[in-house]
Amino acid sequence: MNLESENLNDYLVSDAIIDWQTPAVRQKALELTQSFSDEIEKARSLYEWVRDAIPHTNDAGLDVVTCAASEVLRYGTGTCFSKSHLLAALLRAVNIPAGFCYQVLRLDPPADNTLVLHGLNGIYLATLGRWIRVDARGNTGGIDAQFSLDREQLAFAMEAAAGEFLYDTIHTAPVSNVVKGLKKYASRRDLWLDLPKAFENETNILCA
């Protein structure tokens, strides 16, 4: 995997979007990990909670748009991007470096083969000395994303022939066009008509 920064501290930053120093976010992170001493089990617990306990806004039929981690926690829902923001914040709150990864996928259901971004996370596990990718989008409709150390198991397979691919870079912060899109719309229905698209200036990609 390609890293945006070689400095792990850049993957621990608290800012306006990944606002893990917000008391509610820190408290939730500690609450979910208090029974674990092992870093891997902490990461697994946080991942599975965001995946399963925070429904994807579209799956839940909700119209709210959340962006900052604290918003996702407060409203209890988010898009794939928003859920990745919350997961990163929770991980960073317990000192586990986390970043942001993106796929380009066909809009589901397919609409003129429109390609849009999908957000997920990279997690650095110090005990293993390596990064893994995880997808907390939510396991509905046959999706079976898992926290796996042996074989990457994300929410969506890729069809290279359809133009789908996975960016190889793990970003230190959510990319700007994702944040702008989430901030632009108050309605999920409006956002769905203008979802973030593939971004330029990214050369490292993985195809199916």
Closest by CA to 166, choosing from 122, 111, 129, is 122
Residue range 3-57, pLDDT digits in tens: 999 999 999 999 999 999 999 999 999 999 999 999 999 999 999 999 999 999 9
* CATH 1.10.10.60 assigned to 2-207: no
Residue range 93-151, pLDDT digits in tens: 999 999 999 999 987 655 566 889 999 999 999 999 999 999 999 999 899 999 999 99
- Comparing 74 with 198, the larger pLDDT belongs to 74
Task: Tell me what pLDDT residue 163 has.
Answer: 85
Q: For residue 97, say if its preceding peptide bond is cis, omega within 30 degrees of 0.
A: no
Domain spans of the chain?
A: 2-207
CA distance 101 to 137: 13
DSSP label at residue 205: E
Sheet (strand 165-167) strand order: 130-134, 115-125, 98-106, 165-167, 205-207
